[in-house]
Amino acid sequence: MTLAEAIAAQTPLVQRLLDGLAAIGADPPGITRDAYGRGENEAQALVAAAGDALGLERAIDAGANLSLRWAGTDPSAPPILIGSHLDSVVQGGNFDGAAGVVAGLAAVAALQAAGIRPRMDIEVLALRCEEAVWFGLGLIGSRCLLARLPPGALDLRHARTGLTLAESIAACGGDPQRLRAGTPLRDPARLGAYLEVHIEQAPQLVEAGAPAALCLANPGNLRHPYIRITGEDAHTGLPHRFRRDAALAGADLALGLERLWLEEEAAGRPMAVTIGRFHTPVDRHSLTMVSGRFELSLDLRAYAADHLAALEERLARIVAEVAARRGVRIELGERSAAAPGPMDPGITECFAAAAARAGLPAPRLNSPGSHDANNFAASGVPTGMLLVRNRNGSHNPEEAMETGDLMAAVAILVHWLAERAGAGM
């Protein structure tokens, strides 16, 4: 069987797994696979069963991540990891993260069908809790694996169950005590590469008319999930000069951040500002009251660590200016951060050569999203990503990846693996 035939033969496996994951997460109008909960657990079980059928060795690490290992011929060779996540946001789409885990399994199955035995181990990883919606902190599975959990992370509480992260990990077969030691579960220096396939989260590939792309970099992010603005409750007729209006201060802050964003883009420094929560307190807001309290969330992202640091300084200045002008107190509150994820140039070039061998166009794009790949890149692991065309963005029920486009990414991945890992036909 040729390599192209072996890849095409995995389409039914890919479709069966995607359909199974959709059934597990069904939550009309979208998909919900809760991290460290039923949805993610059942998705892991589905993927593990597929790995069993391929003869892969399964293991659960201290963060409750699932590894499916195909042993290579040279035990001393650094392994290649192919990973992504299975959790989703609440009522999101089916493909964000999950498509990458399925792609890893399909790549292994294609190599097996083509009679290619890897020289080094190839591991497919289903990493836990990539989405920040569940604990207010994202990329948790890869943070656990690489000892990148911030202080206090194990005490964060799950948005639905109320269990701490430590309790949630233990309930899913992990070992939070091992994580408290603060040492990596896998030595980054002994990993040959980390590869991730992920749907694209902007319409760049739709615009380019290409099924897949080579990712150049993922942004890092700075997050404040609970920014609190405190002014003074007052009657709606209060003259402007006496007001300490928290809602208008929130609006000022949002518009100030948008001005920052537009200035940075005009200067050729790509970034993004996202305000996901923006509200007066639901238990007290009223048509006939000036609100003395306001809350919002903030996600700032950029592609370089020094740029993120500069944006954080600008954020502090904007906050101080708004607070002084409006006579309010602004507390940024809890903070989390993820390092930017530049992809390894050598892997990117080899991906380009693999795409050429597969007869596929291969545009090069930045991803607008942060991914588990960020943590591997920040830990010094050679990291590469492929992006898959996906209409209608992500984190919504309208995700619209076509299976054929995912198979194009699988083809690039398989050709890369056959060149890098193949020990013989």
- Residues belonging to the binding site for Zn(2+) are 85, 96, 131, 198, 395
- SS3 per-residue string spanning 257-282: HHHHHHHHHHCCCCEEEECCCEECCC
- For the chain, the distance separating the N- and C-terminal CA atoms, rounded to the nearest angstrom, is 10
Token pair for residue 331? 């507390």
Distances (CA, A) of 46 to 23, 41, 50: 11, 9, 7
Q: Is 338 exposed, middle or buried (0-12, 13-18, 19+ CB in 10 A)?
A: buried
Q: Is 225 strand, coil or helix? A: strand
C-beta of residue 332 within 8 angstroms of C-beta of residue 224: yes
Pair type for strands 217-218 and 212-215: unpaired
Token pair for residue 126? 């289903």
* Most distant pair of Cα atoms in the chain: their distance: 81
Report the interhelical angle of 305-326 vs 246-266 (nearest 10°).
150
Which residues, including other chains, have CB under 8 Å from residue 144's CB and lie 6 or more apart? 61, 62, 63, 64, 65, 128, 169, 174, 179, 185
Which residues, including other chains, have CB under 8 Å from residue 124's CB and lie 6 or more apart? 47, 51, 56, 67, 68, 82, 83, 101, 104, 105, 108
C-beta of residue 344 within 8 angstroms of C-beta of residue 383: yes
Could you please report the per-residue DSSP string of 337-359?
A: EE--EEPPHHHHHHHHHHHHHTT
Which amino acid makes up residue 314?
R
Annotated binding site: 85, 96, 131, 198, 395
C-beta of residue 40 within 8 angstroms of C-beta of residue 33: yes
